[in-house]
Amino acid sequence: HLQLVESGGGSVQTGGSLILSCRISEYTDSSFCLGWFRDAPGKEREGVATLRRSSGTTGYMDSVKGRFTISHDSDKNTLYLQMNDLQPEDTGMYYCALATSFASCSPTSTWSKVWGQGTQVTVSS
């Protein structure tokens, strides 16, 4: 069955970089949204970045624009999140997600998803 497996989290200091990976076990419709979400301490889960592979359209939450980049390697069927200039407020559990049907694709839109298990990112000052 469909599985998403994240890796790449860790602990870094302010200004550091990390690359998160999400291996997707099956190939799915390229029009379906892919995304990264995070659970930050004391906050509800929020959308960080999204990608619609068929169009290349990406979306980012305002606080990560210019610092984070979402991408997908079709040969490896792996979703990535390149995170640069990390800040303490980026700390949280990061989850990748794959839409189960065609829907609006943005960090704030609502879409039915399959989730990975999460990977922890900790940024210290």
Q: What does the pLDDT read at residue 112?
A: 86
**Dihedral over alpha carbons 63, 68, 69, 75 (to 10 degrees):** -130
**Among 4, 2, 1, which residue's Cα sits nearest to residue 81?**
4
pLDDT tens digits along 65-113: 999 999 999 999 999 999 999 999 999 999 999 999 999 999 999 888 9
Q: How far is CA 48 from the centre of its chain?
A: 6
Contact 119, 23 (CB under 8 A): no
